[in-house]
Structure 1
Amino acid sequence: MLVTIALLLSLNAASAAFLSGAGVALRRGNGPVISAQSRIAMVAKQTPHGGKLIDLFVHDKEAAKAAADITVELNDRQSCDVELLCNGGFSPLTGFMNEDEYTSVVQDMKLPSGLIFGLPVVMDTADSNVKVGSKLLLTYKGTDMAVMTVESAWEPDKPKECLSCYGTASIEHPGVRMVAMERARKYIGGSLQGLGVPTRDFPCATPKGGARHAPRQCRR
């Protein structure tokens, strides 16, 4: 174990020295440059992003569901976002980003708190009945996944989002194509109460027996 740790530290140090000497850095679109040292430090960090692993699943699921006034069937992409928000995969987020958080991430690749966050995580809808204050029961193929309290609703500047996040407005880019053609015109943000996780057609195998594990389970 000690040999393995020492080897990893040596590789990290060597990588940092090499990348620093070569002047290698990453830029997301036209956003800020991220140095090699910063990237290595982020990878090596053992604490959850933001310092706390989020878990949004509630014990009293029936009470949470009873408060919902609109049912929304999620698509594949939205259901994955909901699952990652609820199980802490998108820590420190406690729901879909509101307009201020979205704007901060698009412009500066950071949450308003200053914490780095690479891409916006938003819910989209074409339902005119969904407004600020609505409580949405989010379902996916027969599974009640979460209840969302809508706290923010806006129409984003999608060309700006694409240029800032992906560095291009070309529809050939999969991210641009998703924003332009898959996401609805209106974005909504708000907190989530997790209810359940669906059985997916594409289960993700993990080293722990081949089953899908949430971030908290992988840390045991």
Structure 2
Amino acid sequence: MPTTMSLAVKLHVTSSFHLGNSTKTTSIPSFNAKFRPASISHFNPLISTLYEHRMSNSPKSKSSFVIKSSLIEPDGGALVDLVVPGSLRAAKTAEAESMPKVGLTKIDLEWVHVLSEGWASPLRGFMREDEYLQSLHFNFYRMKDGTIVNMSLPIVLAIDDATKERIGSSSNVGLVAANGDLIGILRSIEIFKHHKEERIARTWGTTAPGLPYAEEVITPAGNWLIGGDLEVLKPIKYDDGLDHYRLSPKQLREEFDRRKADAVFAFQLRNPVHNGHALLMNDTRKRLLEMGFKNPILLLHPLGGFTKADDVPLDVRMQQHSKVLEDGVLDPETTIVSIFPSPMHYAGPTEVQWHAKARINAGANFYIVGRDPAGMGHPTEKRDLYDPDHGKKVLSMAPGLEKLNILPFRVAAYDTEAKKMAFFDPSRTEDFLFISGTKVRMVGFSRI
């Protein structure tokens, strides 16, 4: 069998799968990086309108249409930037030193990063109680002008009884990282009760034990939440060799403009790219070109915050993503790889709204969504926690996401007849092997 280098690393896949009453063991070779495009299953109705607009403004019609990548405004109309200007940094730092202090966990710091760069625009800090309740119960909140913006995950900061007591009647607090570094200021604070069971039940639809984010972050957290307007003293950096991948929404929009993108389609991963993903992304670009777009740009946007212990570590994933571009599996001229700094909840249809909303703020006007986005297996039972189709259905209906074009896709699998990845054909079920559930050994890295 051929041993062609596939995606970034060789993927030696051995799968035991069932066809009827028989069991078959198959070794799948590394897959060829050339794909036969197939159509996306269906599009958001908004896209047909975009297509007509593009055709009426094509070069053949000699219209005055100007290519511009910022085809979608950030929520609230302007990106939030909560990083203090360099000229004010010393004065703000001195002011923060005199305030009561609130300690930040590693995951709290990831949320500070998210907020500071405007991923959650128009949110300007950790949520106060009214914002929290709207997010928790409605998956959106209403701005002062009546505009509804999607906000499906509460972005909150928990404190314990001792910290609440130390804050007392102060209206401002300083935020301090675990290593003692002063990170920022939270102003005009509001402290309210942290109802953990309600938060978990509303976010995940269950309070079953074993939910990774709930057990890591919420259950051990304090009994109070503190919200307020955030000021971050300097850009958040991790000094892990990956900071150059962490482009802010502003930087991404500038790069889309530099490349003269006329469409931006975003794809999120929390594990390595495989050939099924590559087939999908290349096919999506082909479909957009057929719709009349001239230079669609892919934002390959792996999640870089908290993930559960059995997910592939970020540094390994980024080495693999880099090799994908180096080997030409995805075109470097039409692909931007960047890290999305958000922590992962694994909250299925609730969380996928957050993932889509954040990409609006980064300038993406198309969002690819597949089977069971942001989902996971049930923590105590052998089944999916969420219906695999509900994520894409929810995205197509979610309040505040109407301006984003949702691109659902069919499942890709290894076609044993064609000996390459292809979109699954239900009329030939026995010919396909699925990567999900297989044993994948990553050659060339120390982590296996």
TM-score under structure 1 length normalisation: 0.71
Counterpart of 1:160 in 2: which secondary structure? helix
Contact persistence 1:170–1:176 (CA under 8 A): no
1:34-82 CA-partner distances (Å, limit 9, x unpaired): xxxxxxxxxx972223322100122212222233312333210111111
Give yes or no for the alignment of 1:97 onto 2:127: yes
Distance 1:106 1:71 in 2: 27
Counterpart of 1:137, as a letter, is G
Distance 1:137 1:118 in 2: 27
Contact persistence 1:143–1:197 (CA under 8 A): no
Counterpart of 2:173 in 1: which secondary structure? strand
Contact persistence 2:102–2:159 (CA under 8 A): no
Q: Residue 203 of structure 2 is aligned with which of 165, 170, 174?
A: 165
Counterpart of 1:115 in 2: which secondary structure? strand
Counterpart of 2:154 in 1: which secondary structure? coil
Counterpart of 1:169 in 2: which secondary structure? coil
Distance 1:124 1:107 in 2: 19
- 1:194 is matched with 232
Aligned-pair distance for 1:198? 4.2
Distance 2:241 2:208 in 1: 32
Check 1:121–1:217 CA distance in 2 against 1; reply closer, same or farther (3 A cut).
same
Distance 1:122 1:211 in 2: 26
- 1:121 is matched with 155
- 2:116 is matched with 86
**Alignment gaps of 5+ in structure 2:** 1-38, 46-69, 255-448
- 1:30 is matched with none
- 2:175 is matched with 138
Check 1:77–1:178 CA distance in 2 against 1; reply closer, same or farther (3 A cut).
same
Distance 2:42 2:189 in 1: 47
**Structure index of larger Rg:** 2
Check 1:197–1:182 CA distance in 2 against 1; reply closer, same or farther (3 A cut).
farther
Distance 2:196 2:101 in 1: 26
1:86-115 CA-partner distances (Å, limit 9, x unpaired): 111221111110011101111111113332
Give yes or no for the alignment of 1:111 onto 2:111: no
Check 1:211–1:143 CA distance in 2 against 1; reply closer, same or farther (3 A cut).
farther
TM-score under structure 2 length normalisation: 0.37
Contact persistence 1:122–1:188 (CA under 8 A): yes
Distance 1:176 1:73 in 2: 19
The share of aligned pairs that are identical, in percent, is: 26
Distance 2:170 2:188 in 1: 5
Contact persistence 1:132–1:151 (CA under 8 A): no
Check 1:45–1:108 CA distance in 2 against 1; reply closer, same or farther (3 A cut).
farther
Check 1:217–1:143 CA distance in 2 against 1; reply closer, same or farther (3 A cut).
farther
- 1:56 is matched with 82
